[in-house]
């Protein structure tokens, strides 16, 4: 305890050091992948939303699946912290928000008509899917009768990118009202309207 206190000050300092050490490695690769996506699209077309999401998720899922046991533990810690009202907002914001904002900007380029509120909700759902994936609770194993395994991160990645890309496109599509029905409003204080696909 004395040695940990000497180097990190307290338990919070130790937790932050653990977060920073691997976050820097992750963020470096994610930015490199995103830069490559944007460079490939530059001057010709907007980036594909699938490519942006892949650059965001691939380094995490790859390390969790094929990295050292330390990476598996790190992502389990992220899943725990991201769901914590006490720590999630502080630590996730400090270590990941600068990178997240770069990805949000790239998504704006990919889907330029997207309303900001829809864009951030779509990111929120993507983040939630990643958090549940990293938890590897085994619930999908039981629900699917063994057809799916929460530890099969290659299958997750194969499906997560097109699934989330479709979600971004659906939320960011131009809002059209059905005949005789007013268009959906984006004010949070108003009642939620029935989705058009019901």
Q: What is the CATH number of the domain that holds 152?
A: 1.10.357.10
The dihedral sign for the CA sequence 126, 131, 133, 138: negative
Does residue 184 lie in a domain region? Answer: no
Q: Are 89 and 67 in contact (CB under 8 A)?
A: no
Does residue 166 lie in a domain region? Answer: yes
Q: Are 150 and 140 in contact (CB under 8 A)?
A: yes
Does residue 147 lie in a domain region? Answer: yes
Token pair 């965001």 in the structure block, residue: 56
Per-residue pLDDT tens over the stretch 15-45:
777 778 888 888 999 999 999 999 999 877 8
Does residue 99 lie in a domain region? Answer: yes
Per-residue pLDDT tens over the stretch 55-76:
999 999 999 888 888 888 888 8
Q: Are 47 and 37 in contact (CB under 8 A)?
A: yes
Does residue 157 lie in a domain region? Answer: yes
Q: How many CB atoms lie within 10 A of CB 127?
A: 15
Per-residue pLDDT tens over the stretch 80-92:
777 777 666 677 7
- The CA distance from 24 to 32, in Å, is 12
Phi then psi for residue 149, to 5 deg, are: -125, 130
Does residue 141 lie in a domain region? Answer: yes
pLDDT of 181? 44
Does residue 194 lie in a domain region? Answer: no
- The CA distance from 67 to 77, in Å, is 15
Per-residue pLDDT tens over the stretch 141-177:
999 999 999 999 999 999 999 999 999 999 998 765 4
Does residue 135 lie in a domain region? Answer: yes
More confident residue, 7 or 116: 116
Instruction: Please state the domain count of the chain.
Output: 1
**Residue range(s) defining the domain that contains residue 81:** 2-172
* For residues 111-117, average pLDDT: 93
């Amino acid at each position: 305890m004395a040695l940990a206190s000497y180097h990190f000050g307290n338990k919070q300092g130790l937790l932050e050091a653990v977060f920073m050490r691997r976050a820097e490695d992750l963020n470096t690769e994610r930015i490199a992948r995103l830069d490559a996506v944007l460079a490939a699209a530059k001057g010709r077309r907007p980036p594909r939303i699938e490519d942006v999401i892949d650059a965001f998720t691939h380094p995490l899922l790859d390390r969790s699946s094929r990295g050292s046991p330390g990476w598996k533990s790190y992502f389990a810690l992220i899943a725990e912290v991201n769901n914590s009202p006490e720590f999630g907002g502080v630590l996730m914001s400090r270590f990941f928000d600068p990178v997240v904002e770069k990805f949000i900007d790239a998504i704006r380029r990919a889907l330029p008509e997207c309303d900001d509120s829809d864009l951030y909700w779509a990111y929120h759902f993507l983040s939630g899917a990643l958090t549940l994936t990293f938890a590897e609770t085994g619930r999908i194993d039981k629900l699917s009768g063994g057809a799916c395994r929460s530890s099969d991160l290659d299958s997750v990645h194969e499906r997560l990118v097109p699934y989330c890309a479709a979600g971004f496109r659906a939320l960011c599509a131009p809002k059209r009202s059905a005949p005789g029905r007013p268009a959906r409003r984006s004010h949070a204080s108003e009642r939620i309207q029935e989705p058009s696909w019901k």
